């Protein structure tokens, strides 16, 4: 079965992360930004994903964070992968990073897998079939934000979004029990899916950050949209808001200014 084979591929990539010699990581900066990093392990995991996933589905397009050219996913089958979501964490040995693989058909998410090798947690979902962590069904929280945790991403590669990110974070902080910042959007979204926190937002994510985990949230009964409530777009960067069933979806929308 395709899902089982993909889980095996992703688990093996998780082992590559655990066994990496980070002293030989060859860390480089990307796009001229000192906080946007890539290591030889990001490239090696992506190369392994490309080879093994395309062996399973040779007809598929392949979109990976570290590819130079991103193929269109609008037609046919496609893999959208982030080899290491949480590269800064990986470089710092913070032990909070994940391998993320989504499969789409004609632009629709069919399958999502996010593996956190540090906790040996394998999250996955297939469209219409529910969401799971290590084989057990997961469900989002039904708690209101007042009894919940807010997770956020600081959109740290986009300086123009920092003020607005922290303004919204302050609003969430005032409404929730507390805030958390993991450094991996894929893990944050799976944390919402597993009902361990109630709200996650980040003002700009790339498709490979959310393609797998947003399906997992939806299949766990949660809502995942842009901040204005409109649908996410897998072909371009966009803001992401994920919530459990107890959180008012309009809460941040009311606070939002010009963000779509």
Burial-class residue 98 by CB neighbours within 10 Å (0-12, 13-18, 19+): buried
Shortest separation between residue 100's beta carbon and ligand IPD, angstroms: 9
Shortest separation between residue 223's beta carbon and ligand IPD, angstroms: 20
Where do the DSSP E strands lie in 117-237?
Answer: 121-126, 131-133, 136-137, 149-152, 178-180, 199-205, 223-225
* Residue of 209, 218, 232, 252 interacting with Ca ion (CB under 5 A): 209
Shortest separation between residue 164's beta carbon and Ca ion, angstroms: 20
The partner in contact with residue 16, picked from ligand IPD, Ca ion, none with C-beta cut-offs of 5 to 8 angstroms by kind, is: none
**What x/- string results for residues 167 through 186 when contact with ligand IPD is judged by CB under 6 A?**
----------------xxx-
The SS3 assignment for 48 reads: helix
Pairing of strands 199-205, 178-180: unpaired
Shortest separation between residue 259's beta carbon and ligand IPD, angstroms: 15
The partner in contact with residue 227, picked from ligand IPD, Ca ion, none with C-beta cut-offs of 5 to 8 angstroms by kind, is: none
205 binds ligand IPD (CB under 6 A): yes
Q: State the sign of the Cα–Cα–Cα–Cα dihedral 73, 79, 83, 89.
A: positive
Shortest separation between residue 154's beta carbon and ligand IPD, angstroms: 6
Residues 83-102 that bind Ca ion (CB under 5 A): 84-85
Shortest separation between residue 59's beta carbon and ligand IPD, angstroms: 27
Measured in whole angstroms, how far is the alpha carbon of residue 86 from the centre of its chain? 9
The partner in contact with residue 198, picked from ligand IPD, Ca ion, none with C-beta cut-offs of 5 to 8 angstroms by kind, is: none
CB 246 within 8 A of CB 141: yes
Residues contacting residue 59 through CB under 8 Å, at least 6 positions apart: 76, 77
Q: Which is nearer to ligand IPD, 9 or 96 (CB)?
A: 96
**What x/- string results for residues 46 through 85 when contact with Ca ion is judged by CB under 5 A?**
-------------------x----------------x-xx
**Which candidate, 104, 88, 138, places its Cα nearest to that of 211?**
104
112 binds ligand IPD (CB under 6 A): no
Residue 191 has φ and ψ, to the nearest 5°, of -65, -40
Residues 52-111 that bind ligand IPD (CB under 6 A): 65, 82, 85-88
CA distance 53 to 51: 6
153 binds ligand IPD (CB under 6 A): yes
The count of other CB atoms within 10 Å of the CB of residue 91 is 18
Contacting positions for Ca ion (CB under 5 A):
65, 82, 84-85, 209
């Amino acid at each position: 079965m395709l899902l089982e084979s993909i889980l095996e591929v992703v688990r093996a990539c998780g082992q590559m992360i655990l066994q990496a010699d980070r002293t030989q990581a060859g860390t480089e900066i990307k796009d001229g930004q000192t906080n946007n990093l890539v290591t030889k392990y990001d490239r090696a995991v992506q190369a392994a994903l490309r080879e093994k996933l395309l062996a399973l589905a040779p007809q598929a397009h392949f979109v990976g964070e570290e590819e130079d050219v991103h193929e269109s996913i609008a037609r046919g089958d496609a893999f959208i992968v982030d080899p290491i979501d949480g590269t800064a964490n990986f470089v710092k040995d913070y032990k909070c990073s994940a391998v993320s693989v989504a499969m789409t058909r004609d632009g629709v998410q069919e399958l999502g897998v996010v593996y956190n090798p540090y906790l040996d947690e394998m999250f996955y979902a297939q469209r219409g079939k529910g969401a799971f962590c290590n084989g057990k069904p997961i469900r989002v929280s039904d708690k209101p934000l007042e009894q919940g945790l807010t997770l956020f991403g600081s959109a740290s590669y986009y300086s123009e979004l920092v003020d607005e990110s922290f303004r919204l974070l302050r609003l969430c902080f005032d409404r929730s029990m507390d805030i958390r910042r993991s450094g991996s959007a894929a893990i944050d979204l799976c944390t919402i899916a597993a009902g361990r926190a109630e709200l996650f937002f980040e003002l700009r994510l790339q498709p490979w950050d959310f393609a797998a985990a947003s399906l997992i949230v939806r299949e766990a009964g949660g809502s995942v949209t842009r901040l204005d409530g409109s649908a996410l777009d897998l072909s371009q960067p966009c803001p992401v808001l994920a919530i459990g069933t107890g959180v008012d979806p309009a809460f941040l929308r009311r606070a939002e200014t010009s963000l779509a």
